[in-house]
Structure 1
Amino acid sequence: MPEHGPLLGETVIFTGTLKTLEVFDLVRQYGGVPVSIPLIQVNEIVEQTDEAKMKRCSTFDWLIFTSQNAVKAFHSKMGRFAISASEIPSKIAAVGTQTAAALEKIGFTVEFIPTVFSADVFVKQFKPTEGELNVLFLKGTLAGSIIREELPFNVEEWTVYETGAKRDSIDSLVDLLKNKENCNVLFASPSAVQVFKEDAVPIVGWEGYTIGAIGHITEKALLEAGATVDVKPEIYTLKELVISLSKRKDEFR
């Protein structure tokens, strides 16, 4: 453990499902203690129609992925039906560099990423020149309707994973916030905010710890829930959120 650093003496709590331990290492490099207490759980949706839907993917001009969870579920289906990335000639769009990296890891080439990693910016910037297009949006159960409603193309949706509350984590989170000083709670989705609001806030409230949001959609959910958002990075990744948190703490030392 470093003897100095902007996060020295700080406990950094991640409330989402972590895809990599890179952010844990980063917190430790800054002198902090990382803790994973996910408030949501994600599972692939498996249906009898999956094989037929997988085979149809090659007929779409573009496939759109807005999360690593969608990539993971899609990859699972590729393996189940022995379909490789080379058999899907569709162009690929990803919301976020981490989602793009996950796609490239399984063999796809990502041809479009918006400058801000959110669906509302994606629909404004995604303007292929091919004309009339058929696109497939690979999504989760909590995804909004903005991509389907605001893209000027024929948009089909395939819900490949479900997100649910993980309430068995609440006691551990509440204990930390009640008994430890210098806690920081990082939110990566509105769904995690909702669970925290319903199960933790009645006990610990919204004060006494630093709150971080990965982007403006999660920030909006926090503000509507009554929280004050202390940290939000310009680039919407957990790594940048940790970096922004470290800068804030450094300023106040």
Structure 2
Amino acid sequence: MPEYGPLHGETVIFTGTLKSLEVFDLVRQYGGVPVSIPLIQVNEVEEPTDEKRMKTCSDFDWLIFTSQNAVKAFQSKMERFAISVNEIPCKIAAVGTRTAAALEKIGFTVEFIPTVFSADVFVKQFKPTDGELNVLFLKGSLAGSIIREELPFQVVEWTVYETGAKRDSINSLVDLLKSRRDCSVLFASPSAVRVFSEDAVPSVGWSGYTIGAIGHVTERALLEAGATVDVKPEIYTLKELVETLSNRKDEFR
């Protein structure tokens, strides 16, 4: 760890479920101490109808994925029912480069990514010229209705994973915020914001540490909960959030 750096002495707390340790390495590179304390947990939704639904995926013109969690759950179903990428010849849309990378890793070609990695921007920019379309949205249990309601196509939703609170992490997070002087808490979803607001804020409040939001949807959830958002990247990834945090800390040194 560098003796000095923009995050020197800073404890950087990630409240989401990490898909990669790359951001941990980045925090260390800048002299900080990364800590993972997930406030949410994600599980695949398994139903008796899964095999039938998997076999009808090829009937759709497009499949839409808005998170790596959806990709992981979909991949699990593909493996369980021995369905190959070649059997799903649909076009693929992904919200975010990380989601796209996860899809490409299992063999899909991603043909559309919005310029801003959020559903509200996606529905404005996703304008295929293929005429009437039949679209399948692979989603989580807490996903909003904007894709179904605002795309001018026939959109079928399939909930392939569920998100729940991981409240056994709260005590560790509260203790860390109380015991360490320089802390940053990074939020990657409104779900994590909700758990933190309900279970941690009564003990630590919304002040005394730096607050980071991965994008404008999470930022809005924090503002509505009463927080002040100190850091939000222009590109909505955890890596860019750490980079933005580092730049902010560097300015104040």
Residue in 2 that maps onto 1:188: 188
CA distance in 2, matches of 1:151, 1:29: 42
Residue in 2 that maps onto 1:37: 37
**Deviation at residue 211 of structure 1 after TM alignment:** 0.1
Provide the TM-score with structure 2 as the length reference. 1.00
Residue in 1 that maps onto 2:121: 121
**Deviation at residue 86 of structure 1 after TM alignment:** 1.2
**Deviation at residue 87 of structure 1 after TM alignment:** 1.0
**CA deviations over 1:213-249 (Å, ceiling 9, x no partner):** 0000000000000000000000000000000000000
Residue in 1 that maps onto 2:172: 172
Provide the TM-score with structure 1 as the length reference. 1.00
**CA deviations over 1:178-209 (Å, ceiling 9, x no partner):** 01011000000000000000000000000000
Matches within 5 A, 1:1-253: 1-253=1-253
Q: Can you give the 5+ residue segments of structure 2 that lack an aligned partner in the other structure?
A: none
Q: Which amino acid aligns with 1:95?
A: V
Count of matched residue pairs: 253
CA distance in 1, matches of 2:177, 2:229: 17
Q: Which amino acid aligns with 1:65?
A: F
Percent sequence identity over aligned pairs? 86
CA distance in 2, matches of 1:85, 1:196: 39
**CA deviations over 1:159-194 (Å, ceiling 9, x no partner):** 000000000000000000001011000000000000
Q: Can you give the 5+ residue segments of structure 1 that lack an aligned partner in the other structure?
A: none
SS at match of 1:107: coil
SS at match of 1:92: strand
SS at match of 2:148: helix
Q: Which amino acid aligns with 1:181?
A: R
Q: Which amino acid aligns with 1:75?
A: Q
**CA deviations over 1:133-167 (Å, ceiling 9, x no partner):** 00000000000000000000000000000000000
**Deviation at residue 68 of structure 1 after TM alignment:** 0.2
CA distance in 2, matches of 1:82, 1:26: 37
Q: Which amino acid aligns with 2:246?
A: S
Alpha-carbon RMSD: 0.3
Runs of 4+ in 1 over 4 A off after TM superposition: none
